[in-house]
Amino acid sequence: MFVSKHNLDNHMWQHKNKRLRPFKCNQCNKAYLREALLEQHLRTHKGLKPFVCNECGVQFTMKANYKRHVEEHNGKRNHACQECNKTFTRSYYLTDHMKVHSGEKPYICGICGKTAATRSNYNSHLKTHITREPVNSEV
């Protein structure tokens, strides 16, 4: 959902045919409507993260992501769960949290089949499968 038709129109460009986007990345198949968006994208290939949070040091490639992150430090948690009163800084987090109450577990581990309600729990689980250096038992 968008607050204005202009924002909706800008979003809809993402779904247009890539041939209609004049600014193409020479390192991958992405293309953009505006040159500034291509320049922003190119930072990801270069590993550049010029936007740094003064509060915690997290770095960002895109200014919009940086701004959204900084807002989380202000402590405003305007999205509350009606089931357990837990509060969240973003509506997406609340939506994800509601799966805990509904029992929905859409994330399935491809290695062991364990399911998770949230992407964050799923990602945490995946880390349990990361192999370490083999232990030498011939001591």
pTM for the full model?
A: 0.53
Instruction: Provide the number of structural domains found in the chain.
Output: 2
pLDDT digit string (tens) for 59-75? Answer: 998 888 898 888 888 87
Tell me how far apart the alpha carbons of residues 56 and 70 are, in angstroms, rounded to a whole number: 9
CATH number of the domain enclosing 43: 3.30.160.60
Identify the domain containing residue 110 by its residue range: 79-129
* Domain end call among 74, 101, 117: 74
- The CA distance from 39 to 63, in Å, is 12
Is residue 101 very low, low, confident or very high in pLDDT (cuts 50, 70, 90)?
very high
Determine, yes or no, domain membership for 88: yes
Residue 115, domain member (yes or no):
yes
In a shared domain, residues 18 and 66: yes
Q: Report how far residue 33's alpha carbon sits from residue 23's, in angstroms, rounded to the nearest whole number.
A: 6
Stronger pLDDT, 49 or 119, i.e. the higher one: 49
In the numeric block, the tokens 């041939």 are attached to 19
Does 117 reside within a domain? Answer: yes
- Asked if 29 and 43 sit in the same domain, the reply is yes
What is residue 138's predicted lDDT score, i.e. its pLDDT? 53
Residue 68 shares a structural domain with residue 27: yes
pLDDT above 90: percentage of residues in the chain: 37
User: Residue 104 corresponds to which tokens in the numbers above?
Assistant: 């929905």
The span from the CA of 80 to the CA of 96, in Å, is: 12
Clarify whether residues 94 and 47 are in a common domain.
Answer: no
